[in-house]
Amino acid sequence: MAGSMQGDRCPVIASVDRHGHCNLDKNSYDIFGESEEEPDSVSCGCFHAVLARIHRLIKWMFRRGTATPPTVKKPRNRLFSSILCCFRNSNNGNNNNNNPPAGSNCQAPVTEENGNPRTCDKYLLPTVRHQDMNKKCVVIDLDETLVHSSFKPINNADFIVPVEIDGTVHQVYILKRPHVDEFLQRMGELFECVLFTASLAKYADPVADLLDKWNVFRCRLFRESCVFHRGNYVKDLSRLGRDLNQVVIVDNSPASYIFHPENAVGVTSWFDEMNDTELLDLIPFFERLARADNVYSLLKTMSESPSSTTPSS
Count of structural domains, the chain: 2
Higher pLDDT, 82 or 187: 187
**103, 128, 292: which is closest to 209 by C-alpha?**
103
Predicted confidence band at 53 (pLDDT cuts at 50, 70, 90)?
Answer: low
97 within some domain: no
* Same-domain pairing of 142 and 223: yes
* Same-domain pairing of 30 and 159: no
pTM over 0.95: no
Q: Residue 261 region, left (φ>0) first, then alpha (ψ -120 to 50), else beta?
A: alpha
* Same-domain pairing of 195 and 290: yes
Q: State the pLDDT at residue 67.
A: 45
Q: State the pLDDT at residue 313.
A: 42
88 within some domain: no
Mean pLDDT, range 121-127, rounded to an integer: 88
206 within some domain: yes
Predicted confidence band at 194 (pLDDT cuts at 50, 70, 90)?
Answer: very high
Catalogue the active-site residues: 141, 143
- Three-state secondary-structure class, residue 213: coil
* Same-domain pairing of 59 and 125: no
Task: Tell me the average pLDDT of the chain.
Answer: 75
Summarize pLDDT for 138-153 with one digit per residue, the tens.
999 999 999 999 999 9
Question: Three-class SS string for 231-261?
Answer: CEEECCHHHCCCCHHHEEEEECCHHHHCCCH
4 within some domain: no
Q: State the pLDDT at residue 303.
A: 75
**What is the side-by-side strand order in the sheet with 137-140?**
217-221, 192-196, 137-140, 247-251, 264-266
Q: State the pLDDT at residue 306.
A: 57
Q: State the pLDDT at residue 60.
A: 54
* Same-domain pairing of 136 and 59: no
Partners of 170 in beta bridges: 163
- One-letter amino acid at 274 equals M
186 within some domain: yes
Q: State the pLDDT at residue 213.
A: 95
* Same-domain pairing of 290 and 183: yes
In angstroms, the Cα distances linking 209 to 124, 215, 222 are 20, 9, 14
**Range of lowest pLDDT (4-13, 156-165, 265-274):** 4-13
87 within some domain: no
215 within some domain: yes
d(CA 148, CA 180): 12
Q: State the pLDDT at residue 302.
A: 78
Mean pLDDT, range 246-267, rounded to an integer: 97
* Same-domain pairing of 46 and 154: no
91 within some domain: no
Q: For residue 135, what is the domain's CATH number?
A: 3.40.50.1000
Summarize pLDDT for 237-254 with one digit per residue, the tens.
999 999 999 999 999 999
- Note down the domain range covering 148: 111-303
* Same-domain pairing of 162 and 278: yes
* Same-domain pairing of 158 and 50: no
Partners of 233 in beta bridges: 228
**What is the side-by-side strand order in the sheet with 21-24?**
13-16, 21-24, 42-43
**Range of lowest pLDDT (54-68, 158-172, 179-193, 234-248):** 54-68
Summarize pLDDT for 66-115 with one digit per residue, the tens.
444 443 333 444 555 566 664 444 333 333 333 334 335 465 444 444 44
**Range of lowest pLDDT (10-24, 90-104, 229-243, 285-299):** 90-104
Distance separating the N- and C-terminal Cα atoms of the chain = 77
Burial class, 208, CB count within 10 angstroms (exposed 0-12 / middle 13-18 / buried 19+): buried
Q: State the pLDDT at residue 136.
A: 98
Q: State the pLDDT at residue 301.
A: 82
* Same-domain pairing of 278 and 207: yes
* Same-domain pairing of 151 and 292: yes
Partners of 172 in beta bridges: 161
**Range of lowest pLDDT (36-40, 143-147, 219-223, 293-297):** 36-40
* Same-domain pairing of 244 and 158: yes
Q: State the pLDDT at residue 188.
A: 97
